[in-house]
Amino acid sequence: MKKDVIVASSLCVRFNNQTVLDDVSFCVGEGEVFALLGGNGAGKSTTLKTLLGTVSPASGNASVQGLSVNKAIDNIRRKVAYLPESVMLYGHLTGQENIKYFLSLANVARSDSEIRQAFSRVALQEKAWHQPMSNYSKGMRQKTAIALALLRDAPILFLDEPTSGLDPNAIDEFNQLITALAAEGTTVFMVTHDVYGACQVAHRIGLLDNGKIVGMFERGEQSNIDTEEVHSAFSARHKR
């Protein structure tokens, strides 16, 4: 039985009397990839923001590694690497300079050789390491952000629409990296509207619609989650 790393219990969020999350519960075990899947306005970003402590639930609670987001958000943020849909790094600095700068902000000391190892681990091409990040594609920026997470020893990744805007090769590479990191024990929570991508990498998918979890899909011992099944459940919700 895997230890639960992220637990959301009956989260309710309201904005201006509108219920945006309604009794949302799920848990993510250590080394699992959990995808929260939903259409526009379903409440995915709000769930992510609640886990990051930037939105407070009206009721219910969430915890990360046993720490409540209401009480210990600073500790949680040290354990989590958050990749927004557009990874923001400094365009005029190289990949390596960005890494050094953000590590220094986090008070983490790493040698050049450790940084090179992290870049190799995420398969960032060597010729890019010393180029300004303004030349990087979205996939390369994501790899740099994941390298930074590895160097920070962050055991948990939060990903917001990680595959939007990536070409098919970059998506495959990204999915392989996430799968490998999870196999090594990293816990991954992602929000996405990409049914196919979610089925490829996730151990579990929660389908969110209008602020409610309306379906939960789980990978079998040897097989990925069935894309057809999730696709039908997803589109049935959007035909109403």
Residue type, 142: Q
CB 214 to ligand ATP: min, Å: 13
Tell whether residue 15 is a contact of ligand ATP (CB under 6 A).
yes
Task: Please state the separation of Cα 128 from the chain's center in Å.
Answer: 24
Tell whether residue 45 is a contact of ligand ATP (CB under 6 A).
yes
Candidate list 44, 110, 141, 203; residue touching ligand ATP; CB under 6 A: 44
Residue 37: strand pairing partners: 192, 207
Tell whether residue 187 is a contact of ligand ATP (CB under 6 A).
no
Tell whether residue 65 is a contact of ligand ATP (CB under 6 A).
no
Print burial letters for 178-216: b (CB count within 10 Å at least 16), e (below 16): beebbeeebbbbbbbbbbebbbbbbbbbbbbbbbbbbbe
Q: How many residues bind ligand ATP (CB under 6 A)?
A: 12
Would you say 39 or 132 has its CB closer to ligand ATP?
39
Print burial letters for 141-177: b (CB count within 10 Å at least 16), e (below 16): bbbbbbbbbbbbebbbbbbbbbbeebeeebbebbbeb
Per-residue tokens: 75: 């500790």
Tell whether residue 162 is a contact of ligand ATP (CB under 6 A).
no
Contacts of 34 (CB under 8 A, 6+ apart): 6, 26, 28, 188, 189, 190, 202, 203, 204, 205, 206
Tell whether residue 163 is a contact of ligand ATP (CB under 6 A).
no
Tell whether residue 17 is a contact of ligand ATP (CB under 6 A).
no
Would you say 24 or 122 has its CB closer to ligand ATP?
24
CB 190 to ligand ATP: min, Å: 12
Tell whether residue 165 is a contact of ligand ATP (CB under 6 A).
no
For residue 58, the tally of other CB atoms under 10 A from its CB is: 12
Q: Which among 14-22, 57-65, 68-76, 149-157 is the span making contact with ligand ATP, rule CB under 6 A?
A: 14-22
Tell whether residue 51 is a contact of ligand ATP (CB under 6 A).
no
Would you say 6 or 115 has its CB closer to ligand ATP?
6
Candidate list 2, 3, 41, 108; residue touching ligand ATP; CB under 6 A: 41
CB 144 within 8 A of CB 137: no
3 state DSSP class of 46: helix
Tell whether residue 38 is a contact of ligand ATP (CB under 6 A).
yes
- Count of residues making up the chain: 240
Tell whether residue 207 is a contact of ligand ATP (CB under 6 A).
no
Candidate list 6, 20, 140, 201; residue touching ligand ATP; CB under 6 A: 20
For residue 42, the tally of other CB atoms under 10 A from its CB is: 24
For the chain, what is the radius of gyration of the CA atoms? 18
- The interface with ligand ATP within residues 78-107 (CB under 6 A) comprises none
Please give the residue ranges that form the binding site for ligand ATP (CB under 6 A). Answer: 15-16, 20, 38, 40-46, 193
